[in-house]
Amino acid sequence: MSRKKLPRFEHNIIASNVIERGKELYTTIKGKWKEIYFKNDNPITLELACGKGEYTVGLSKQFPETNFIGVDIKGDRIARGSKKAIDLGLTNVAFLRTGIQYLDEFFEPNEVDEIWLVHPDPQPRDKEEKRRLTNQKFLDIYKIYLKSEGIFHLKTDSSFLFEYSLDLIMKDPEFEIIDYTNDLYNSDLKEGHYDIVTYYEKLFNEKGSSINYLKAKLIKKAS
């Protein structure tokens, strides 16, 4: 472990807004986010593969009556989001350190109102499809925890991942596409992002990449 990362891991150990292995809430929070952590009945939004939590923190400032949870396996990354949320005095923010494939250990079905997936690794090679966070396996996972009428957002600089994801979501009978664009910052949809720009997005913009975005609503079939 690098000396630069060590203080971030130490921060996570003591930070009340970071939930990770070794903390009591890590094994008791499932289905009880509102009751135990947030202590309110406000809607829950997840930012999956949140990295430094730019959207988690940015949206939480815009919507104080919504609870936001950033999920990522990289502790040194979420430490940065945690610190920023603490510095800003945000109490509607939490960070969960785990892999997305383990959401079943932390959330009950229909517990989540909204999911953001912002600039995930596109995994463009055919043999990497199983790791794409918008493949059908992962979409089916998201559908478990999203409420009916819940919203799924994807934001990516990768045209390949965008077209791949758009095609799958359009074919999924439980998803309804609300909006999409191949050039977010030259579209009317820009306002819905509140000038939140991630670290990697800044790099993409400097290289002249356009940003793709889609918004879909989940309509669950009656069981």
Residues taking part in catalysis: 121
Q: Distance between CA 150 and CA 217 in Å, rounded?
A: 6
DSSP track, the chain: --TTTHHHHHHHHH-TTEE-TTSTHHHH-TT-IIIIII-S---EEEEET-TTTHHHHHHHHH-TTSEEEEEES-HHHHHHHHHHHHHTT-SSEEEEES-GGGGGGT--TT-EEEEEEES-----SGGGGGG-TTSHHHHHHHHHHEEEEEEEEEEES-HHHHHHHHHHHHH-TTEEEEEEES-GGGSGGGGGGTT---HHHHHHHHTT---EEEEEEE-PPP-
The residue written with tokens 């995994």 in the block is 123
What's the CA angle centered on 71, arms 187 and 16, to 5 degrees?
A: 120
